[in-house]
Amino acid sequence: MDRTTSYTDSWYRQPSPVPSGDRPAPTSREWAVIAAAWLLAVWARDGAPGRRTEVVVGAGPKRSDQQWPEPPPAAEIARLGGFPESGPGRPVAANVLTSLVQAAPGRPYEPTRPADEATAEVLALLRERIPVTGPRGGSLLAHLADQLVGQHSDLLRVSTGDDDLHLLRRDTFGETLRLTVATAPAVEPPPVIEADGADAALRTHLACLMTLLSGLLWVNNNNPVTFRAWIGPRGDGDPLAVAADWWRRTREEEPEEVPEFRTVSVDELRRGMEHIVSGSLLDLIDEDWEGEWLEVPDDHIAGHLHRDLLDVLLARMTGPDGPPLIAYAGWLPLNGPDDEPAAEDDFNGTVVFVNATEAAVLDIDLTC
């Protein structure tokens, strides 16, 4: 499996499995919605009611040029949302779920209703069409509703005369996103890049997890925590030598020296990842935060995401001979905030999973 990253990675952005065509490429805010919608399909339980999810991005007038106290004309909604302009599937009605409006020139833009009220309505609409069970699915669905409403969004519910749910969001500068959830014979899986072969679905799954985690975890005001993964033939040598060789092969430049790898148990790996998340989760940091590491709430989506990231890699690397050997180098805070990096200001960690035939590399980058 080639290098797999998030769809918002600043240096090595994961290729989209859906060509943009004549529409703009998704922004980072739009990828947060797309990744959540695709991951909900991955997490759907067996026997869940069938559904099809479609996301279409576009561009239209900036809010400063056209406010939405009322829905724009149907023809404009069709253009912005990628709907048919006539015939079945065309917009026939719309209502404003929330929007930011300016009462008079020079006044600030203010929402037409409280954000929590709008989010609750959007979440109820999603729940009607995306039934989830358990805390993981419920947490992701709530996160999707939060992303759709946001702090700077106008949001319409569009009707096309059927039972499908269509939500059309516009951001401050006119970027639009249409999310459609429609009934289908089965839950439609997320799109994949066919050239990725047997690991195509895995790459989309990993990219969605990495995208959502990088949107939640931050090193500072400008730099998110980033994740990258590779899988390939094991090579010769003992597992620690294989881990070191794969670390060398996945660096951007030929390193002067290779760090020492140490074995770690699954429980230790999970604890180290939990500490990384708790130390980087923006939702835990407020104006009174003094740098202490806090517990991630059990129902927070970040906990479900990082656990699934490790579960997916462990499942992929567990073979007939059992689970892989796990080794790490760099920064993996097994004991919490008192763990110092091996080198000053080097908060980059690498975990390597080694089985009888393959090795998988997971880079976790917390450097500025």
pLDDT digits (tens, 9 = 90+) for 184-243: 999 999 999 999 999 999 999 999 999 999 999 999 888 999 999 999 999 899 999 999
Please give the residue that has the higher pLDDT: either 170 or 222.
170
Please give the residue that has the higher pLDDT: either 283 or 7.
7
CATH number of 197-365: 3.40.1460
CA distance 75 to 345: 54
CA distance 309 to 328: 16
Judged against a pLDDT cut of 60, whether residue 343 lies above it is answered with no
Mean pLDDT of 119-137: 95
DSSP letter assigned to residue 217: B
H or E segment at 311?
helix 301-317
Do 66 and 81 meet the contact criterion of CB atoms below 8 Å apart? Answer: no
Judged against a pLDDT cut of 80, whether residue 337 lies above it is answered with no
Rounded to the nearest 5 percent, the helix, strand and coil shares of the chain are 35, 20, 45
Judged against a pLDDT cut of 90, whether residue 146 lies above it is answered with yes
Q: Which residues of 289-303 are buried (b: 16+ CB within 10 A; e: fewer)?
A: eeeebeebeeebbbb
CA distance 223 to 106: 33
Judged against a pLDDT cut of 90, whether residue 8 lies above it is answered with yes
CA distance 247 to 259: 9
Q: What is the pLDDT of residue 170?
A: 97
- State the residue for tokens 């970027």: 175
CA distance 259 to 329: 6
CA distance 165 to 148: 13
- State residue 290 phi and psi, 5-degree precision: -115, 20
Choose the weakest-confidence range: 253-257, 278-282, 333-337: 333-337
Q: Is 22 exposed, middle or buried (0-12, 13-18, 19+ CB in 10 A)?
A: exposed
Do 6 and 214 meet the contact criterion of CB atoms below 8 Å apart? Answer: yes
H or E segment at 278?
helix 266-280
Please give the residue that has the higher pLDDT: either 336 or 51.
51
DSSP 23-60: SPPPPHHHHHHHHHHHHHHHTPPTTPPPEEEEEEEEE-
CA distance 191 to 330: 34
Strand partners, 57: 177
Q: What is the pLDDT of residue 294?
A: 74
Q: What is the pLDDT of residue 362?
A: 98
Residues 283-299 have pLDDT tens digits of 876 655 565 667 888 88
Mean pLDDT of 238-252: 95
